[in-house]
Structure formats: structure tokens, C-alpha cells
Amino acid sequence: MVTEDFPVLVLGTHNAKKKREMALLLAAEGWELRSLADYPQSLEVEETGTTFAENARLKASVQARHLGVWVIGEDSGLEVDALDGRPGIFSARYSDPGATDERNNDKLLEELAGLPLEKRSARYVCHIALSDAEGNILAEVERNCRGRILFERSGHHGFGYDPLFEIVEYHQTFGQLSDTVKSCLSHRARAMRAFVREISRLLPERKPPKEAITSNLTTFRFG
Ligand code: IMP
């Protein structure tokens, strides 16, 4: 349901690195953004879905109803062909329930041990859903980014599996490529661009005027 006033969009993630990537991608399009850091009463939404889409919708609609604002839910992860799509929706907790990026990457290398490069193809997937304050999903998109899993880590940019995930055309991992390059090529960047097109269609006349960045790190308004 479109409200009379231009709605503030809240990025429904507690992951600081994802939040940063998404804030940069959306702010460049002129939307007023907030993050969960602006809402101390925000929830930790349990990911009980069986697909990226279900989890993104859950994160958006549960948080939106709770906070009474429009929320963007995002769910993403890594699908490795040789592992029949694992770790998939379990990417964040692949090695164990309290997983770290370090342990997840170790487990991935162990599971792929002995496989030659041509059998290490993989893709990152990102699903984004927008919920209004009543929990209705107004827009959603899913995009991916293909690459392959190298034999050892390279680079320190990005997060998660980035040091192992090579973009074949660049001969470099997302750990080596700059944030600027990742913000053009990644699953999240592709999904965000498509998402911005979707919400611009949804609220064509409500795009805010271009303004300078005036605010703190978690609240942006510029275009
Ligand atoms: P989520 O918070 O449940 O969506 O989990 C996402 C998980 O997928 C992260 O913790 C990472 O392990 C992985 N992931 C998603 N996007 C990226 C990315 O851009 N780079 C590296 N790992 C990612």
C-alpha cells in the first residue's frame, strides 16, 4: 500500500558489511535510507524459510510489522555446483551454528579438496524483498553472480567467501577486487539495480529531490 508521504526505507539487516554495500547502492539512487541501527527495538528475525526468497520475505515483513515502517529484506549465499547447491541458504552457518567466515571457508576448502578447477564452479545468489508496514510484499527480485572456488584464499576485501570466490573474467577473487568493482558485478549489486527499477515503478512520482548527504553513517539522503 503506497502511503501519502514518501516512505523511508529501512535496510533490514544486522550484517554491517552487507548494510554498507546496500546503503551505497541505494543511496546513489536517491532514496532515503535507514538501517536497523536506527531502531534499537528491531528484532533478530529467525530464518526459517527453505529458499532465499522465503527468508528475504520473512526478514522484510516480520521486521516491518514490528517496527511499523517499510523494510527491505535481503537473503543471500553461495551455491556450489559440485555440492549440489550447498551451502545455499545455510551459507552464514555452514561450518557450525556459531560459524565464522574463517571456519566456513575452511570447511568449503575441505569439502572441495581434490576437485580440479573446472569442477569448482559456483554462484552467489541474492534475493531482495520490500515489505510495507503491514507486512505486504510490494516488490522482490533475485539475481546471481557466477564464479569459481579457488584452492586458497586471496585478498582481504569483502567478507564471507569472497577471498575464495574468483570472478573468472578478472582472474581475481572478490577478496582482491576493489569494493567499487564488487559494487558493479556482485549478486547484491545486480539485485539492487533491478530492485531500484522495481520500486521506481511502484512509486514513480515519489522519488525524492536530489539533496546532499547530510546525515550520519546509517542515514543517507542523496542522489
Ligand atoms: P544471510 O545473512 O543469512 O543472508 O547469510 C549470508 C551469508 O552468505 C554470509 O554470511 C556469507 O557467508 C554469504 N554471502 C552472502 N553474500 C556474500 C558476499 O557478497 N560475499 C561473501 N559471502 C557472501
pTM above 0.85, yes or no: yes
Q: What pLDDT is recorded for position 204? A: 59
For residues 109-133, average pLDDT: 97
Q: What 8-state DSSP symbol labels residue 222?
A: -
Residue with cell 572441495: 112
Question: Cβ contacts of residue 142 below 8 Å, gap of 6+?
Answer: 52, 53, 125, 126, 127, 128, 191
Q: Judge residue 102's burial from the number of C-beta atoms within 10 Å of its C-beta, 0-12 exposed, 13-18 middle, 19 or more buried.
A: exposed
For 112-120, what is the mean pLDDT? 98
Read off the pLDDT band of 73 (50, 70, 90).
very high
The predicted pLDDT at position 139 comes to: 95
Nearest CA to ligand 1 atom 23: 160
Active-site amino acid positions: 75
- Measure 91 CA to ligand 1 centroid, in angstroms: 6
The cell numbers describing 58, all together, are: 520473512
Give ligand 1 pocket residues (Cβ under 6 A): 15, 47, 75-78, 91-92, 104, 124, 158-162, 186, 188
Q: What is the average pLDDT score of the chain?
A: 87
